[in-house]
Every structure is written in C-alpha cells, then in structure tokens.
Amino acid sequence: MSYTDSTYNGWTNKPTWLVHLWLSNDYGLYHTTREMLADAHDPERALRDFVEEIHDLETLVADSGMISDLLGWALAMVNWREVANAFAEEE
C-alpha cells in the first residue's frame, strides 16, 4: 500500500485542512488569526510563522527523531496560501 497525496474535505490535503480547522475552531484564535492576516504583507509567511510561534514548533521540529520528522513533513505539506485565502474570503 502506498501513500498518495489527495484532496481532503475540499482542501489540498489533510495537513492544510487541519491547520484551518484548528485556527478557525476557537473563537479567540480565529479572530487573532484574522487580525494578524489583515496586517500581513506576506500572508502565507505570516500565517506559517504564527502557527509555529503559538505552538513553539521551532523547538519541536529542531529536535531529532520520528515525531519531529513527521511534524516537519506535515508542515511542509500545508498549502499556506489556501488557508490564508480562506480567512480572507470569510471577511
């Protein structure tokens, strides 16, 4: 059995869907994310930096091991533009 990337619930892939789900499923985080993106010059980069900061992902991904490898892979799969655009469309 091989893993193939495919769309997930209408999103590019499951990691992209999960990022949007978690950012939009909490009232405070949703509004903080929208405010941050409204002021961002580069929404994709700002969104990724924001997610890494609120979860201290720099430390987690810097560690070596299976979990950091999986987390790094999942973050690399996220379509940050799609998530940023979804927040922009919700205005």
CB atoms within 10 A of CB 6: 8
**Whole-number percent of the chain with pLDDT over 90:** 64
**pLDDT band with cut points at 50, 70 and 90 for residue 2:** very low
Rounded Cα distance between 28 and 13, Å, is 25
Q: What are the residue boundaries of the structural domains of the chain, listed by start? A: 14-89
Map residue 63 onto helix, strand or coil: coil
What is the model's pTM?
0.84
| Packing angle of the helix pair 14-24, 80-89 (nearest 10 deg) | 40
Rounded Cα distance between 31 and 11, Å, is 21
For 35-50, write each residue's pLDDT tens digit.
999 999 999 999 999 9
For 77-91, write each residue's pLDDT tens digit.
999 999 999 999 986
